[in-house]
């Protein structure tokens, strides 16, 4: 079963930031899809397992500030 979660992201400035996050997170085996919005400063992540905090950690490791929306 898939679930969609939202991660708020601070520190994105351009399309390269968006592309970097989408590229890195989409490589995770339990991620079905990710769509990053520069305008809304968030990412919509569809995942198979509720390990969304791990996805936020990956984004943080890329140099951004990511927080799971509750």
Q: Phi first, then psi: what are they for 22, rounded to 5°?
A: -60, -40
Q: pLDDT category, 64, cuts 50, 70, 90?
A: very high
For position 70, what pLDDT does the model report? 83
Query: Is the four-CA dihedral 18, 20, 21, 22 of positive or negative sign?
Result: positive
Question: For 21-60, what is each residue's pLDDT tens digit?
Answer: 999 999 999 999 999 999 999 999 999 988 999 999 999 9
Per domain, the residue ranges of the chain are: 3-68
23: left (phi over 0), alpha (psi -120 to 50) or beta: alpha
Q: What is the topology classification, in CATH, of domain 3-68? A: Alpha-Beta Plaits (3.30.70)
Do residues 51 and 30 lie in contact, with contact meaning Cβ atoms separated by under 8 Å? yes
What is the Cα–Cα distance from 24 to 32, expressed in whole angstroms? 13
């Amino acid at each position: 079963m898939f679930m969609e979660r939202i991660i708020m992201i601070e520190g994105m400035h351009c399309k390269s930031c968006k592309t970097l996050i989408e590229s890195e997170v989409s490589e995770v085996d339990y991620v079905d899809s990710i769509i990053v919005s520069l305008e809304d400063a968030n990412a919509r992540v569809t995942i198979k397992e509720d390990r969304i905090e791990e996805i936020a950690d990956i984004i943080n490791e890329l140099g951004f500030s990511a927080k799971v929306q509750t």
